[in-house]
């Protein structure tokens, strides 16, 4: 179990890591499609007492969590009868805490759910936040790496041989007919930008919303190979337990819909969402505003969906296949129990 806890925690920390940091419609104006979609997610306030929700996100305060800040600040959670606070602690294994009933919800990535279920943890993914897997491989354009095949015999730096970055780069390699034996994977910590700029690595594994924005702000010409362009995988989303879902489905529905509403509002009002994030991310005001705003805009592109929150079964199949090829799954997993779309609006 100690090994499981370390593995799941490593995945959690990297699964949502990123960088270190409106107008009101006119009365007579028809709502846009996205505004209409948001309206369908709204939940009517009830007279019931507020349900206290501590939501762990597995990382420090950051602009990438703008939808959660929006949900709190704009009252979307309160309207749903929820008093949500964000838990940034990284020392706890939130997948295990969900399974044991110490948590009701957490933001986790798809691989954590699959790996957890393989170990008997009754986790259920109820809402896809990231519609695109957020990992990619970036190189200087001068290196001429324009396809996965071009990565053969190259040195690729990544935080370590764990987490979403590791799973993402392996998925990318597999998509091009390569394996880990065809490249040199160097554990470099979170120094991707420096290692690439100083040519100590031919390419580095990044979160596509983050490091590319930093590199481009420095005037560097780069090429990004996105995992999402190669195959569909399961990114970060809202996760609960079988017990909570069985005993209080309306709580799960309220949390899912309020979070979806918050994400949609952020997509529709990025400038306002960015200003709201400043109230929650203490170092955001002093950070490079151009870069941080671009990180938010890049993140928004990863969240967009025709049917917000919907979890594609093909992504789960691909995730399972990659984990099996990596030798990380030692037990069978019933993917139909890993996720549900029953709380997602049609």
pLDDT at 36: 43
**Contact call for residues 274 and 75 (beta carbons, < 8 A):** no
Q: Give the pLDDT confidence of 232-264 residue by residue, as tens digits.
A: 999 999 999 999 999 999 999 999 999 999 999
- Which DSSP string do the residues of 296-339 spell out, in sequence order? HHHHHHHH--SSTB---HHHHHHHHHHHHHTT---S---GGGTB
Q: Give the pLDDT confidence of 261-280 residue by residue, as tens digits.
A: 999 999 999 999 999 999 99
Mean per-residue pLDDT, 210-215: 96
Q: Give the pLDDT confidence of 163-177 residue by residue, as tens digits.
A: 899 999 999 999 999
pLDDT at 330: 80
Q: Residue 129 pLDDT > 80, yes or no? A: yes
- 206's tokens: 């990044």
28 to 38, 248, 257, 336, 346: CA distances (angstroms) = 18, 39, 27, 45, 27
pLDDT at 143: 97
The model's pTM is 0.84
- 280's tokens: 């929650």
Q: Residue 297 pLDDT > 70, yes or no? A: yes
pLDDT band at 91 (very low <50, low <70, confident <90, very high): low
From CA 29, how far away is CA 98, in angstroms rounded?
44
Mean per-residue pLDDT, 93-122: 95
- Mapped onto helix, strand or coil, the DSSP state of residue 243 is helix
Please count the other Cβ atoms lying within 10 Å of the Cβ belonging to residue 152.
13
pLDDT at 24: 28
From CA 122, how far away is CA 140, in angstroms rounded?
43
pLDDT at 48: 73
pLDDT at 8: 43
Mean pLDDT, the chain, whole residue set: 88
**Contact call for residues 224 and 138 (beta carbons, < 8 A):** yes
Mean per-residue pLDDT, 307-333: 95
Q: Give the pLDDT confidence of 194-204 residue by residue, as tens digits.
A: 999 999 999 99
- 297's tokens: 């805009």
**Contact call for residues 102 and 155 (beta carbons, < 8 A):** no
Q: Give the pLDDT confidence of 9-45 residue by residue, as tens digits.
A: 444 433 434 433 333 232 233 334 444 444 445 554 4
pLDDT at 336: 96
Mean per-residue pLDDT, 67-88: 97
From CA 260, how far away is CA 213, in angstroms rounded?
26
**Contact call for residues 300 and 131 (beta carbons, < 8 A):** no
The CA-based dihedral angle spanning residues 111, 115, 118, 123, taken in that order and rounded to the nearest 10 degrees: -70
**Contact call for residues 145 and 202 (beta carbons, < 8 A):** yes
pLDDT at 294: 97
User: For 48-52, 216-220, 245-249, which range has the lowest pLDDT when averaged over its residues?
Assistant: 48-52
pLDDT at 339: 98
User: For 86-100, 171-185, 271-285, which range has the lowest pLDDT when averaged over its residues?
Assistant: 86-100
């Amino acid at each position: 179990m100690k090994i499981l806890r370390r593995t799941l925690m490593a995945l959690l920390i990297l699964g949502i890591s990123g960088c270190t940091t409106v107008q009101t419609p006119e009365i007579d104006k028809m709502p846009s499609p996205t505004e209409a979609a948001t309206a369908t997610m709204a939940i009517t306030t009830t007279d019931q007492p507020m349900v206290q929700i501590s939501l762990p996100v597995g990382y420090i305060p950051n602009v990438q969590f703008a939808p959660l800040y929006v949900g709190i600040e704009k009252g979307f959670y309160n309207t749903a009868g929820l008093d949500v606070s964000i838990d940034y602690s990284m020392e706890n294994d939130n997948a295990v805490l969900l399974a044991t009933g110490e948590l009701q919800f957490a933001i986790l990535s798809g691989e954590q759910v699959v790996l957890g279920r393989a170990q008997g943890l009754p986790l259920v993914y109820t809402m896809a936040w990231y519609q695109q897997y957020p990992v990619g491989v970036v190189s200087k354009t001068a290196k001429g790496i324009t396809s996965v095949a071009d990565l053969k015999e190259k040195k690729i730096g990544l935080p370590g041989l764990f987490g979403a970055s590791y799973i993402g780069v392996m998925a990318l390699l597999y998509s091009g007919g390569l394996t880990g034996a065809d490249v040199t994977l160097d554990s470099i910590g979170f120094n991707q930008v420096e290692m690439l700029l100083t040519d100590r690595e031919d390419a580095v594994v990044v979160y596509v919303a983050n490091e590319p924005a930093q590199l481009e702000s420095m005037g560097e010409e780069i090429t990004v190979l996105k995992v999402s362009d190669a195959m569909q995988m399961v990114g970060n989303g809202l996760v609960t337990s079988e017990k909570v879902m069985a005993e209080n489905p309306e709580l799960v529905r309220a949390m899912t819909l309020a979070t979806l509403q918050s994400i949609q509002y952020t997509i529709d009002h990025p400038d306002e969402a960015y200003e709201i994030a400043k109230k929650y991310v203490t170092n955001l005001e002093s950070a490079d505003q151009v870069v941080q705003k671009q990180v938010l805009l890049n993140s928004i592109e990863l969240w967009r969906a025709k049917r917000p929150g919907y979890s594609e079964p093909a992504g789960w199949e691909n995730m399972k296949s990659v984990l099996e090829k990596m030798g990380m799954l030692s037990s069978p997993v019933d993917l139909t129990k890993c996720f549900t779309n029953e709380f997602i609006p049609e």
